Structure 1
Amino acid sequence: MQSRSRRSVLATLAAGGGVGAAGCLGGGNSVSVLAAGSLAVVLDEHLGQQFEEETGLAVRGEYYGTNAVMRMVEDDRKYPDVVVSADAGLLRDRLYDTHSVWDVSFASNAIGVAYAPDTRFGERLNAGDPWYEVAREADSGNFAISDPDLDPLGYRAIHAFRLAEREHGLDGFAETVTEAAYREPEEPQLLAGVETGNRAAAVVYRNMAADHGLPFHSFPDAYNFSNPEYADRYAEVSYTTDDGYTATGAPIVYNATVLESADSPDAGREFVRFLANADKALRENGFETEEFPRTHGEAPIEVSSE
Structure 2
Amino acid sequence: MLRKLVVCGVLLSSVLGLGAANSARAADEDTVNVLYAGSLVNLMERSVGPAFEKETGLRFRGYAAGSNKIANEIRGKLRRGDVFISASPKVNASLTGAANGDHVSWYVNFAESPLLVGYNPQSRFAAAFKSKRWDQVLQEPGIRIGRTDPKLDPKGAFTVELMTKAAQLYGQPDLVEKTLGAPENPNQVLPEETLVGRLQSGQLDAGFFYSTETSDLKIPAVHPAPELQIKASYTLTILSDAPNQAGATRFVNFLLSAQGRALLREHGVDVIRPKVVGNVQAVPSSLQAVIDAAQ
**Smaller-chain TM-score range?**
0.7 to 0.9
Q: Which of residues 209, 216, 219 in structure 2 aligns to 1:204?
A: 209
How many angstroms apart in 2 are the aligned matches of 1:37 and 1:26?
A: 25
1:48-78 deviation digits (Å, cap 9, x = unpaired): 1111111111110010011101001000000
Identity, % of aligned pairs? 26
Structure 1 range deviating more: 188-197 or 158-167: 188-197
Match of 2:278 in 1: 297
Q: Which of residues 129, 134, 140 in structure 2 aligns to 1:131?
A: 134
Residue 254 of structure 2 is aligned to residue 213 of structure 1: no
How many angstroms apart in 1 are the aligned matches of 2:141 and 2:166?
A: 17
1:258-279 deviation digits (Å, cap 9, x = unpaired): 1111111111122112222222
How many angstroms apart in 2 are the aligned matches of 1:225 and 1:134?
A: 20
CA apart distance, 1:301: 4.5
Specify the SS of the correspondent of 1:254: strand
CA apart distance, 1:138: 4.0
Greater helix share, structure number: 2
1:200-241 deviation digits (Å, cap 9, x = unpaired): 011111111233322111222322314xxxxxxxxxxxxxxx
CA apart distance, 1:122: 1.1
How many angstroms apart in 1 are the aligned matches of 2:242 and 2:128?
A: 49
Unaligned runs of 5+ in 2: 1-25
Match of 2:96 in 1: 96
Structure 1 range deviating more: 157-166 or 185-194: 185-194
Matches within 5 A, 1:206-245: 206-226=211-231
Residue 191 of structure 2 is aligned to residue 186 of structure 1: yes
Match of 1:268 in 2: 248
Pairwise CA RMSD of aligned residues? 2.0
Match of 1:110 in 2: 114
Match of 2:270 in 1: 288
Match of 2:16 in 1: none
Aligned partners of 1:26 and 1:267 also within 8 Å:
no
How many angstroms apart in 2 are the aligned matches of 1:161 and 1:295?
A: 31
Aligned partners of 2:147 and 2:190 also within 8 Å:
no
How many angstroms apart in 1 are the aligned matches of 2:221 and 2:129?
A: 10
Match of 2:62 in 1: 61
How many angstroms apart in 2 are the aligned matches of 1:49 and 1:304?
A: 24
Give the letter for the 2:115 counterpart. I
Higher relative contact order, structure no. (Cα contacts within 8 Å, ≥ 6 residues apart): 1
Aligned partners of 1:26 and 1:264 also within 8 Å:
no
CA apart distance, 1:27: 8.0
CA apart distance, 1:304: 4.2
1:270-303 deviation digits (Å, cap 9, x = unpaired): 21122222221111101101x3211111132514
> Which one has a bigger Cα radius of gyration?
2
Give the letter for the 1:57 counterpart. L
How many angstroms apart in 2 are the aligned matches of 1:105 and 1:184?
A: 27
Match of 1:169 in 2: 171
CA apart distance, 1:150: 1.2
Match of 2:77 in 1: 76
1:25-52 deviation digits (Å, cap 9, x = unpaired): 9982120011100111101100111111
Aligned partners of 2:146 and 2:190 also within 8 Å:
no
1:171-218 deviation digits (Å, cap 9, x = unpaired): 210122121763333101102222122210111111112333221112
